Amino acid sequence: MTVVPPGGGEVVGDAPDRRVEILCEVDFVHATWTRMGPLRDGADLHVHREHTDVFYVLEGSLGLKLADGEAVVGPGTFVRVPPMVAHGFRNADSSELRYLNFHAPGTGFADYMRGLGRGERVPFDQEPPPSSGVRPSSEIMMVGGGVTVGGLSLADVNVYEDAFAVYVLEGADAGTWAQGASVSGSRFVVVTAP
């Protein structure tokens, strides 16, 4: 049983314009919570060969950098980036951006983020887009409601049963991440395990 209250994740980056907390680190998914200051850049174009990158926007405007331009999505949107699709991200607005980030499977993402926090390069499934073999940006899903990655399901719901983990969006425990524990709320991001 794990309960991570708001601001209680493992902090791997903390500055006035950016804070990153690790919420979950299991083989099939690593999850982080991130706050980025106005118009702050995030990551340049890159690909992941062996895992899917999923963002869920909590607040603000996520600018998704694409090989052929940029898309901007707002609160309540899931962005599912399959392996070998070039992408990057930034805060596309003059207000704060907050989002959840899921890497499925985890493939060492949490250790990679710890390394960035220490100023060290840690091997991870991320590299600049190769000159060939990249999949098109059209394979990225930007949707409300939820997404799946293999047997893993991520959904924005009002009630849930039998979830691996939940992040409380609204209600008494808003901002809380829970695995195997009961939390109180009226809206959640639910992670259902494979």
Write down the pTM of the prediction: 0.96
Secondary structure (DSSP) of 29-89: EEEEEEEE-TT-EEEEEEB-SS-EEEEEEEES-EEEEETTEEEEE-TT-EEEE-TTB-EEE
Q: For residue 67, what are its two tokens?
A: 């090989």
pLDDT of residue 161: 86
99 confidence band (pLDDT: 50, 70, 90): very high
Mean pLDDT of the chain: 96
pLDDT digits (tens, 9 = 90+) for 43-77: 999 999 999 999 999 999 999 999 999 999 999 99
**What order do you get walking across the sheet with 29-36 strand by strand?**
10-15, 18-26, 29-36, 97-104, 52-59, 78-81, 141-143
Share of the chain above pLDDT 90, in %: 94
- Pair type for strands 177-179 and 52-59: unpaired
- Pair type for strands 187-192 and 177-179: unpaired
pLDDT digits (tens, 9 = 90+) for 29-48: 999 999 999 999 999 999 99
1 confidence band (pLDDT: 50, 70, 90): confident
pLDDT digits (tens, 9 = 90+) for 112-140: 999 999 999 999 999 999 999 999 999 99
Q: For residue 70, what are its two tokens?
A: 């940029």
162 confidence band (pLDDT: 50, 70, 90): confident
Conformation bin of residue 107: beta by default, left when phi > 0, alpha when psi is -120 to 50: left
